[in-house]
Amino acid sequence: MPTICLTGNFFGGIMRERKILLAVFAVMLALALPIIAIEATPALTATRTSTTPTATTSENGQNQSSQQQSSTDYQTYTNSPDSVIQLLKDSEAAVKAASDNGMGVHIYEKSYFSIEGEATIFESEGDIMLPDRAKLTAEIHLPKREQPYGWDGGPLTVQAIQIGSTLYLKPSFSNTWSVFQIEKESDPVVSDVDLEAINFYDYIKSSSNLGLETMPNGNKAYHVEIEIDTPKLIEKIKSVMKPDKVEKYGSDLDKMKSSVVTSDTWIGADNLLVYQAFYKIDNVDLQLSCDDAFRLSNWGEVVDISPPVDAVPVSGASAGSSSV
């Protein structure tokens, strides 16, 4: 999975006591969105057709050459299950290549997460230099009992920079950048190795390619809908967990089986990179709901992401990990 994990580190850290629910929740999100798992191998076997290159303009009016339909032909895909799976695999390969090549991209994300009537709203925007650099500004609305010390109760604005395994945070109530090291949990519910062995495509309950749609920047993108087979996924997760973890968290995992997990993803017809995605998780029994939307633009941009010069290390502190 990608090493960019600003949202996961911050969001997961402030809700750590709900560990098992968030662990499974994070796995479901990872499996609902193919761009999150980017280890796929290129398998570009689709038919080709012709189109006319289109000059595009970004939302701020600037010409975006990297966003243009840069080729006179692109792959086409049908609504057959095999073709939809091929499209998702090809998109994963394209995102992996972008990461391997250190490509930059602008990201906007807005998330709503509610459990037992308590809601967290997370909105962020910034730039990422794949595979492991990011600079974002986030606004966070947290339930009162999870608000950090020194917060006046209103929306919390946080500036965040990630460079490799180092995370820099500057909340709105502080004038100082704090430095954290991103560390993996020593005893995770599910190990990274076991998670990476789970094949996303085995847990698709239904999928549809709704065809080409025009994005705000003028580019064409395939609109793909997915629903996850949640009970099957939960059983797989339990099968790779250690026995003591199953004993401790098994009943909570079983409660997640009634979750409905869906996603909509827009994949560029010209470059197979992701432009936009929505995903949703609902579980009536657990009173859990999540809606997340993000938009990716300016693929190929070059952004200077450097550490703040006045950052202060936080002794003995770490930002945790987005791994579960």
Other beta carbons less than 10 A from residue 262's beta carbon? 16
Residue 12: give its domain's CATH number: 2.50.20.20
- 262 CB-side CA count, 13 A: 11
In a domain, 191, yes or no: yes
In a domain, 61, yes or no: no
In a domain, 74, yes or no: no
Secondary structure letter of residue 257 according to DSSP: G
What pLDDT score was predicted for residue 46? 31
| φ/ψ bin of 71: left (φ > 0), alpha (ψ from -120 to 50), beta (otherwise) | beta
Can you give the pLDDT of all 324 residues of the chain as single tens digits? 333 444 444 444 433 334 445 555 555 555 444 443 333 222 222 333 333 333 333 344 343 433 344 444 677 899 999 999 999 999 989 988 998 999 999 999 998 888 878 888 889 999 999 988 999 999 988 776 655 655 566 788 999 999 988 999 998 888 899 998 887 777 777 777 777 778 878 889 999 999 999 998 888 999 999 999 999 988 988 898 889 988 988 888 898 899 999 999 999 999 999 999 998 999 888 888 889 898 999 999 999 999 998 888 876 555 554 433
Domain count, the chain: 1
Q: Which residue range is the domain that position 99 belongs to?
A: 6-54+85-320
What pLDDT score was predicted for residue 196? 75
Q: Name the residue among 272, 275, 277, 285 with its Cα closest to residue 91.
A: 272
In a domain, 41, yes or no: yes
In a domain, 20, yes or no: yes
In a domain, 113, yes or no: yes
* pTM for the predicted model, two decimal places: 0.77
In a domain, 120, yes or no: yes
